[in-house]
A and B are shown apart, each in its own frame.
Chain A
Amino acid sequence: MSQKGTLFVRSTSGLARSVTTFDAFTFGFFMMGVGPIGAIVYGMGASIFPSGNIGLAVLISTIGAMFTTSVYAMLTAAMPRSGGDYTYVSRILHPSIGFAGNFNWALLNIFWVASDALLLVYFVGIACYGLAVVTGNTALMAAGTALSLDLNTIAAATVVTIIAAGLVAAAGIKWCTRIQVVGFAVSVLGLIVAIGFFGSTSNPDFIVKYDAVMGQNAYMNVIDAARNAGFVPGGGGNWLIPTLGIAAMACMATLYGMFSTFIGGEVKNAGSVRTQMKAMIGSTVFSGLSIAIVGFLVVYSVGQDYLGAVNYILYSDPASYPFLTAPYYNLLGAIASNNAWIALIFGISFLPIGVVWCIGCTLVATRCMFAWSFDRVVPSQIAYVDPRTRSPVVATLVVIVVATILGAVLVYNQALYYMLFGSIAGTLFSMVAVMIAGIIFPYRRKDIYDKSPSAQKVGGIPLVSILSLIALAFLGLFLYFYLGYPEIGFWAPLSVGLFVGVWVVGFAIYAVSYLVRRSQGIDLGMLFREIPPG
């Protein structure tokens, strides 16, 4: 018998000390992929929107993400044991929307298993290549070249990574705790080195150092080549719209501070809005600021014209492209540092996040499939657990097979960036459903809302509705750029097919399941229908 605050508790099961807010914060930080995703956003942003302000764009994106994340935090606090958006969208809107949204989310995660495996291969290639340039080591150069240019090698390495992630996820991930701790330290070290190096290297210094390694006028040659290929350094015209465009692209990182919604119920004081806000907003702000600061400093040191130009000629004029691997800031920093240790830290700082992503996304996707199976929306065989290994072999196999197919599409169609940004648009659609659920939550599920800690009002209007409405405006703004700027890649046929078509498929699966189960005497509509307490 003990007193806990002003609550008297007795010895019963379940009163464990829970996951700390810091644990949940770290989880969100990892899923936001500060270093690698920042690198992609800086490069692609500068290439597509050369006159945009990268650092400011990340800050705007972070502000928008704070609203979406706040809504996730409030819904999680209201239904902390519900396991994320599937249940609360189903409860508030309709089970078919909850399923279709979650189907989309599961497929996104399977896609990310493929894209993250490929990115991990590229990251290893960049680490080898960067070190090779600095040290002159031919073996590292050969490895970096193979992992960056040889499509068959890249495909094989990607498939091996996907299968390894699947096997680890299926077998259990106890050792991943260590990877997370070490990975967090390495990632933060990478950020510190990036801030230190780019912050202390002015643009003229960077050009001198870069040219010293890459050859006389190498820096300007890149900008000239890009200009000849159609790139307009500085962009011309206004800076606001391009900045908002980059802000939309930065959603690739900033929106995922909400990831701890999937472990929301395990967080200490899970039913407290403040606790959920600390974890989710904490991740969003910390990661968003980190990406913005590194972005400011990379632009300050490397120069936005060069950053845009080198990314531009990566696809438009490969013959003039100076590297064998992607031009992420960790490669640029490694080369300009001309120091093996700094190159090593830059190189390895992206790797742990790639490993954690592959395994984490596999687990999220298999958990989604389990939930559908338990709800009888898909055949129960999907949730089959092998009696010998106790692993979810069917669900894991589905992830491995689909991810391998998607991985092959990415490698052989060179479609990584298009699809990656397309997947973010897919996320935005899922989030729109959550925000709509947030707006009507106090009115449609008054029973749950009134009893929840999220029942806070401002001027008589439910706070969660206000935040959802603002978040929806941000999501609308971001979606405008994905839909309005083909350069970002959403309208690439593969993106549209995968990330829009999946919604149609999701609704179709639910409709077919509904009819099939009804013929078996099961009404899927009963899944989340509340029993009147009377």
Chain B
Amino acid sequence: MRLFFCSDIHGSQVCFQKFLNAAKFYKVQVLILGGDITGKAIVPIVRDGNSYSADMLGLPQTAKGQEGLSALERRIADVGYYYYVADSRETEKLAADPPRLDRLFTELMIQRLQSWLDLASERLAGTGARCYIMPGNDDREEAIKLLDTSTYVINPDKRVVEVDSHHEMISLGYANITPWKCPRDVPEDTLMTMIDDMASKVKDVKNCIFNMHVPAFDSGIDVTTALDSDLKPIMSSSGPQQVSAGSTSVRSAIEKYQPLLALHGHIHESRGVAKIGRTMCLNPGSEYSEGILRGALVQLAETKVKSYLLVSG
């Protein structure tokens, strides 16, 4: 059985489309999206008559007419942001009204996710490919509820699912506490309880896949930039200083249960492969803002990982 795993696309429209097309492109039977699926920001597109302007990634963008506006919206969506068309007065009002801004975030988030779920049904139905999409620590409750309503996409979070006749998978999109206090950051002991609870229901844990958003602490695939108290990277002679930011509970669980395979995301810049005992741990990293879909192709035999390749699609 061949699977494709990716994570942390953070609202990127083009990355999601590539994710769906990965089934055919890489000839895989199983698609897994390992969390952090929703976007981080709204780009206001300021309307002035038939002209539109926006500031995207520090670059001023302008558009004219409906066609220009559509192209601009597409560019914004591809980097993972949401767009909101309004005149300058409305934009200012929005900025001054955090509760309304929060509601708008949820609305745009739901809107895009719904369109993704529709697209998944449309493109994958009849292909035989199974599609698992898990929320991550960045994703809100409203998005999770919507995922659960899908008729095609399976939300595997906090569940045991049978990926094929030989392999079960347990999934957890929660993370240990991050400096940003994300919606689904929880203490380490809570994470451990959740993992133990799922693992106890697995028939053959040695042949199981652990789909855990956060990688194991000190695994080499959890390395990120060290931040000072002001969330500013600490520099060293070879660049920003690096630290491990993974979960000690995930590490303990992998050491304790020794599953066949562990799939992770969360730390975008820590693409790599690690071995913890017999368990192969993969983090394909993320480059969603460039429209590049980083992923892992894994070929599974009955009781072993036959081969793998980290790809940039």
Binding site for B on A (CB under 8 A): 1, 3-20, 23, 26-27, 30, 78-82, 87, 91, 173-174, 176-177, 179-180, 183, 262-263, 265-266, 269, 271-272, 274-275, 356, 359-360, 363-364, 370, 373-376, 380, 383, 385, 390, 447-448, 451-453, 517, 520-524, 526-534
The answer to whether A176 touches B237, judged by C-beta atoms less than 8 angstroms apart, is: yes
Known interface pairs A5-B55, A180-B237, A533-B18. Does A13 touch B232 (Cβ–Cβ under 8 Å)?
no
Q: Is residue B75 within 8 Å, beta carbon to beta carbon, of the partner chain?
A: yes
In the complex, are the beta carbons of A17 and B289 less than 8 A apart? no
B124 CB within 8 Å of chain A: no
B146 within 8 A of A: no
Q: Which of B3-51 contact A (CB under 8 A)?
A: 10, 14, 17-18, 20-22, 25-26, 36, 40-44, 46
Kindly list chain B residues whose C-beta atoms are within 8 Å of the C-beta of A20: 232
When the two chains form their complex, are residues A16 and B225 in contact, meaning their CB atoms are under 8 A apart?
yes
Q: B180 near A15 (CB under 8 angstroms)? A: yes
**9 A-B pairs in the complex with CB atoms less than 8 angstroms apart:** A6-B91, A13-B175, A271-B58, A385-B220, A451-B290, A453-B58, A526-B311, A527-B310, A532-B25
Q: Assess the A531–B233 pair: CB atoms within 8 A.
A: no
Check if B63 is an interface residue, CB within 8 A of chain A: no
Minimum-distance CB pairs A-B, first 8: A531-B313, A176-B237, A263-B239, A533-B17, A531-B18, A6-B55, A8-B42, A180-B237
B182 interfacial by beta-carbon distance below 8 Å: yes
Shortest CB distance A310–B (Å): 33
Q: Any chain A CB within 8 A of the CB of B190? A: no
Please determine whether B307 and A521 come into contact, CB atoms closer than 8 angstroms.
yes
Q: B290 to A266, Cβ gap below 8 A?
A: no
- Convert B37-75 into 0s and 1s, putting 1 for each residue whose CB lies closer than 8 angstroms to a CB of A: 000111110100000001101110000000000000001
Most buried by B among A12, A80, A262, A390: A12
The reply on B137 being an interface residue by CB < 8 A is yes
CA distance A472 to B241 in the complex (A): 34
> Do B236 and A8 touch (CB < 8 A)?
no
Q: Which A residues touch B138, using CB under 8 A?
A: 12-13
Closest Cβ neighbor of B138 among chain A residues: A12
B205 interfacial by beta-carbon distance below 8 Å? no
Query: Do A17 and B231 have beta carbons less than 8 Å apart?
Result: yes
On whether A272 and B59 interact (CB within 8 A), knowing A10-B40, A11-B181, A81-B269, the answer reads yes
17 A-B pairs besides A272-B57, A376-B309 with CB distance below 8 A are A3-B95, A6-B43, A6-B91, A7-B81, A17-B232, A19-B240, A27-B235, A80-B290, A180-B236, A271-B289, A374-B273, A517-B309, A522-B307, A527-B310, A531-B21, A533-B21, A534-B21
Q: What's the A-B contact tally at a CB cutoff of 8 Å?
A: 216
A12 B40 Cβ-Cβ under 8 A: yes
Interface 9-mer from B98-106, B110-118, B126-134, B160-168: B98-106
Structural contact, B95 and A8, CB atoms closer than 8 A = yes
Q: Could you say which of B151-159, B195-203, B256-264, B291-299 contacts chain A?
A: B291-299
Most buried by B among A173, A183, A272: A173
Residue of A nearest to B306 (CB): A521
Across the interface, do B233 and A451 meet the contact criterion of CB distance under 8 Å?
A: no
Q: Which residues of B contact A8 (CB under 8 A)?
A: 41-44, 94-95, 101, 105
The CA of A370 and the CA of B291, in the complex, are separated in Å by 24
Give residues 206-244 of B contacting A (CB, 8 Å).
Answer: 218, 220, 225, 227, 230-241, 244
Residues on the B chain within 8 Å of A528, using CB: 311-312
**Neighbouring B residues of A363 by C-beta, 8 Å:** 238
Q: B13: nearest residue on chain A (CB-CB)?
A: A533
On whether the beta carbons of A12 and B182 are closer than 8 Å, the reply is yes
Partner of B180, one of A11, A180, A373: A11
The reply to whether B57 and A453 form a contact with Cβ atoms under 8 Å apart is yes
Kindly state the separation between the CA atoms of A14 and B123 in the bound complex, as whole angstroms. Answer: 31
A524 to chain B, nearest CB (A): 8
Cβ contact within 8 Å between B180 and A1: no
Partner of B237, one of A271, A360, A375, A529: A360
How far is A530 from B292 in the complex, measured between Cα atoms in Å?
A: 8
Chain A residues contacting B58 (CB-CB under 8 Å) are 5, 269, 271-272, 274-275, 453
Q: Which residues of B contact A173 (CB under 8 A)?
A: 236-238, 241
Minimum C-beta distance from A351 to chain B (A): 14
| Centre residue among B91, B240, B287, B299 by max chain A CB count within 10 A | B240
Q: How far, in whole Å, are A530 and B291 apart by their CA atoms in the complex?
A: 10
Closest to A520 in B: B307
Q: How far is the CB of B274 from chain A (nearest CB, A)?
A: 7
| A383 interface neighbour in B54, B137, B238, B272, Cβ under 8 Å | B272
- Which residues of B have CB within 8 Å of A179? 237
Q: A7-B42, A10-B41, A531-B22 are in contact. Are A18 and B289 (CB under 8 A)?
A: no
Q: Is the CB of B233 within 8 A of A271?
A: no
Cβ–Cβ < 8 Å partners of B297 in chain A: 526
A451 touches B307 (CB 8 A): no
The answer to whether A262 and B239 have CB atoms under 8 Å apart is yes
Chain B residues contacting A269 (CB-CB under 8 Å) are 57-58
Of all chain A residues, the one with the shortest Cβ separation from B185 is A13
**Given the contacts A10-B105, A16-B179, A82 and B239 also touching, CB distance less than 8 Å:** no
In the bound assembly, the distance between CA atoms of A270 and B289 in angstroms comes to 11
The docked-state distance in angstroms from the alpha carbon of A20 to that of B239 is 11
Q: CB distance B41 to A82 under 8 Å?
A: no
Please, how many angstroms separate the alpha-carbon atoms of A6 and B60 in the complex?
10
A457 to chain B, nearest CB (A): 15
B196 to chain A, nearest CB (A): 23
Nearest chain-B residue to A275 (Cβ)? B58
Whether A23 contacts B238 by the Cβ 8 Å rule is: no
Contact between B290 and A16, CB atoms less than 8 A apart? no
Does any Cβ of A come within 8 Å of B178's Cβ? yes
Q: How far is the CA of A38 from the CA of B7 in the complex (A)?
A: 47
Q: Which residue of B lies closest to A453 (CB)?
A: B59
Decide: A19 and B241 in contact? CB cutoff 8 A: no
Min CB gap B3→A, angstroms: 14
> In whole Å, how far is A424's beta carbon from the nearest beta carbon of chain B?
21
A40 to chain B, nearest CB (A): 21
Q: CB-nearest residue of chain A relative to B94? A: A8
